[in-house]
Amino acid sequence: TEITSGSILGRISFQGYDGSAGTGWASNTTNGVVSYAAENWTSTNHGSHLAFLSTPTGSITGTEIMRISSAGDVGIGTTSPYAKLSVTNTGSGPSFIVEDSTSPDASPFVITASGDVGVGTSTPSVKFVSVGNALVYTSNPQLAFGSDSIPNQWTLQAIDSDQRFRIFGAAAERFTIDTNGDVGIGTTSPYAKLSVTNTGSGPSFIVEDSTSPDASPFVIDASGNVSVGAVPTLPSLVTI
């Protein structure tokens, strides 16, 4: 008879005696390695997978804990791995952990059952938590916030060519710090400790009280006119 999908091809079983008179030998179906056919066999198709079975503490019922599929994918906690390593965790403990010689380690690398990643912590509370120093090392390294769409992202980036740091948002560079420590707002080439380039019509700098907009602030407008306690009046350079 031809082998059909799901048929057992072979088994390595482990059993032992639990001391019960007459029935003390554990079933050989609860612990071991079983090979199953992954498809109906023909002269050109012999697909198969391996299942690893174990019995939990306090139980006599074996369960599959790991599978190697016909594609070579490994599944832990799942019978249908869809990557080279698929881990399905229905509990509350970590799904993956790397720790030092102290176990449990208080500052490991961990991925929780919810997919949260912790570096230097065993209890990440959001999608990524790093406790300790971190280094982003690549060409023009950047850290982006927002959606996958670039116009909706805000990015912190170090530029290799001139070694400046910038904040890039809404598809434009908004803020830069050059190698001299000069800060530029609206310009990528600051020429003072603070350089503000304003190509619009609104104020370039303003100091106001708790009322905003303040009717009597300190203002420097886009043309360089200065106002103290009043809105700038053109063409006067200083309004008080």
DSSP for the chain, written as a single string: ----TT-EEEEEE---B-S-TTT-BPPTTSSEEEEEESS---SS---EEEEEEE--TT-S--EEEEEE-TTS-EEES-SS--SSEEE---SSS-SEEE--SSSS-SS-EEE-TT--EEES-S---SSEEE-S-----SSS-EEEEE-SSGGGEEEEEE-TTT--EEEEETTEEEEEE-TT--EEES-SS--SSEEE---SSS-SEEE--SSSS-SS-EEE-TT--EEESS---TT-SEE-
Half-sphere exposure (Cβ direction) of 53: Cα atoms closer than 13 Å? 19
Mean pLDDT of 152-176: 88
In this structure, which long-range contacts are made by residues 181-188, counting pairs with CB atoms below 8 Å and at least 24 apart in sequence?
A: 188/164
Residue with tokens 């503000």: 196
Residue 170's pLDDT band, with cuts at 50, 70 and 90, is confident
User: What is the percent of the chain where pLDDT is above 90?
Assistant: 41
Mean pLDDT of 181-209: 90
**Whole-number average pLDDT of the chain:** 86
Q: 132-141, 177-186, 217-226, 229-238: which has the minimum mean pLDDT? A: 229-238
pLDDT at 232 over 80: no
Q: 8-12, 18-22, 92-96: which has the minimum mean pLDDT? A: 18-22
Q: What is the pTM of this model?
A: 0.64
Mean pLDDT of 92-109: 86
Mean pLDDT of 118-131: 90
